[in-house]
Amino acid sequence: MKGISNMTIIVTGGAGFIGSNFIFHMLGTHPDYRIICLDKLTYAGNLSTLTPVMDNPIFRFIQADICDREAVYKLFEEEKPDIVVNFAAESHVDRSIENPEIFLQTNIIGTSVLMDACRKYGIARFHQVSTDEVYGDLPLDRPDLFFTEESPIRPSSPYSSSKASADLLVLAYHRTYGLPVTISRCSNNYGPYQFPEKLIPFTIMNALNDKPLLAFGEGLNVRDWLYVEDHCRAIDLIIHKGRDGEVYNVGGHNEMRNIDVVKMICRELAKPESLIAFVPDRKGHDLRYAIDATKIQEELGWMPEMKFEDGIKETVRWYLGNWGW
């Protein structure tokens, strides 16, 4: 699809954290594209995030549920999109442990409805935004091990199980119906506009209010951190140049223990580490995530640009400057 202009792209979940950043990226990078945001506006979707682009003539916002087949088909009929990028998902592990059903509904059924619409109305590419959590976890004492695209799928939580199920469904639609699809599996994102239930914004908010900074267990779980703009660049490359039917891992090369992330935020905000409070570990808590992103680097020339030390400074500055949000 390289070189195609005047395309129409539907971005589902575009009022959420990564989706909104992707919309900003695409409008800035491809000013001749039409961008349609479809979002249900659940608790994690914030319409004010999209205020800067609401009056842009090449942007349109539609409030609807991806599980609502009638609404989805109506939008496809009106807009005749070339590409669909599916960010829409329930994504909080703790919430999935408390109420798995909504995760199955949105993350699996919603994905199938979108792909059925793609089959009915024709599409150049359906891209599924997934997570490294579908691979399960890695042991803490084996820093030489990484997730590749060939790693087995063995999710630990209802959330990651629902994302793994969606991934398998996407690949099945490719094989059975010939639907042109790609999947990206990313490591933990951070950056502007992230809902404050996640570790980094949650810690920033609590630190600014001198509230306890909660860490599961002993805080030794390791995550690979990816700055959201680096992730958006990767998806942009995949939808334009990625091979149909392929999975691409997207990692930040920034492995950090959770406790060290919390301590880094304390230093940035000049807050005492005495605010850190350890709480009972999450059920089935994954130990370590680490992505091997060799495939996207070699095939598409993507590399993460933001170092975690710089990215966390940028993120803290953003929250300090956007307290009202």
Query: Do 38 and 111 contact (CB within 8 A), yes or no?
Result: no
Q: Mind giving me the DSSP string for 153-167?
A: P---SHHHHHHHHHH
Percent helix / strand / coil, the chain, rounded to 5? 45, 20, 35
DSSP secondary structure letter of residue 242: P
From residue 48, alpha-carbon distances to 18, 61, 186 in Å are 15, 12, 26
Within 8 A by CB and 6+ apart from 148, the residues are 249, 292, 294, 295
Instruction: Give Cα 234 to chain centroid, integer Å.
Output: 12
Within 8 A by CB and 6+ apart from 303, the residues are 297
Query: Do 228 and 17 contact (CB within 8 A), yes or no?
Result: yes
161, two tokens? 């199980």
Q: Residue 256 — φ and ψ, nearest 5°?
A: -145, 140
Residues annotated as part of the active site: 132-133, 159
